[in-house]
A = this chain, B = another copy of it.
Amino acid sequence: MHVFDEAIRLVAQPGGGWLGHTHPAYGNMVGPFGGITAAQALQAVMLDPARLGEPTALTVNFCAAMQDGPFTAAARAVRTGRSTQHWFVELQQDGQTVTSATVVTAVRREVWSAVEHRMPAVAPPQELPQVPPPRGVAWLSRYEMRFLEGGFPESWNGAEHPDSTSRLWVRDAEPRELDAAALAALCDVFFPRIWRRRERHTPAGTVSMTVYFHADAALLQRTGHAWLLAQARAQAFRNGFFDQTAQLWSPEGDLLASSHQVVYYKD
């Protein structure tokens, strides 16, 4: 069993809902990696026998710090239409909501399609150096990353940069076929943009993240274990919150997901 599947495993509870557990392999500096929490929230919908179609949109709200340990997951179909379905999900610890999420699932048909935000022309991952990630952050070892631009800060000397963009090739370190849950987690692989913009040890944490899934299961399956090109950039930093806009492409140039988040930072 792949460690990602271990981490998103939810066990059905007798009274309804699910029981999950944080996984040390996806630990962050404090508590779990936000991407795995997003995948766990999505998984509560993926496992629901009443689910209609595939994920189209996911918004995850990180309401409070998740503690290492067990959590419950409850997903409720708020509204079911002919081809789309709306869900509300809550992850709780000690009876308190730590994460909430809304999920839209939909049945898709093949119609006219086009990628407008094209994948930039970049060097292939094989030509890029493998830089060891910062120590002490377990989840970083779950991914292979090859940075084209905007790698982890090294000097932390307070230098300011005009552009917060990071661009990298990324994939699971241990091979695993891509699916919606894995893609949701990958949308959160970018370190906080404030560290890229200003090389200072600024505390920062995602408050809310949205993922739009352009890829359906067939395209994800075709993508398999390929390297994905991922990039992220902030648009504004203002009084304790900044946003981030991100894209993830397959090596063939399909935009698999676009993603956005708003992040708390403490100056």
Q: Report whether B64 and A79 are in contact in the complex, using a CB–CB cutoff of 8 Å.
A: yes
Nearest Cβ on chain B to A252's Cβ, whole angstroms? 13
Q: Which of A59-79 contact B (CB under 8 A)?
A: 59, 61, 63-64, 78-79
Residues from chain B with Cβ under 8 Å of A197 in the complex = 114, 116
How many copies of the polypeptide does the oligomer hold? 2
Residues from chain B with Cβ under 8 Å of A110 in the complex = 239
Q: Report whether B108 and A236 are in contact in the complex, using a CB–CB cutoff of 8 Å.
A: no
Contact with B along A26-64 (1 / 0, CB 8 A): 000000000000000000000000000000110101011
With contact pairs A110-B239, A114-B197, A117-B235 given, residues A88 and B86 touching in the complex (Cβ less than 8 Å): no
From A121-129, A184-192, A241-249, the one touching the partner chain is A241-249
Q: Report whether A104 and B61 are in contact in the complex, using a CB–CB cutoff of 8 Å.
A: yes
Q: Which of A102, A112, A237 is most buried by chain B, counting CB atoms within 10 A of its CB?
A: A112
Name the CB-closest residue of B to A90: B78
Complex partner residue of A237 from B63, B97, B114, CB under 8 angstroms? B114
Q: Does A148 contact B (CB under 8 A)?
A: no
A-B contact pairs, 14 of them (CB 8 A): A56-B241, A56-B262, A61-B86, A61-B104, A86-B100, A88-B100, A100-B102, A111-B239, A112-B267, A116-B162, A117-B233, A216-B239, A245-B245, A245-B260
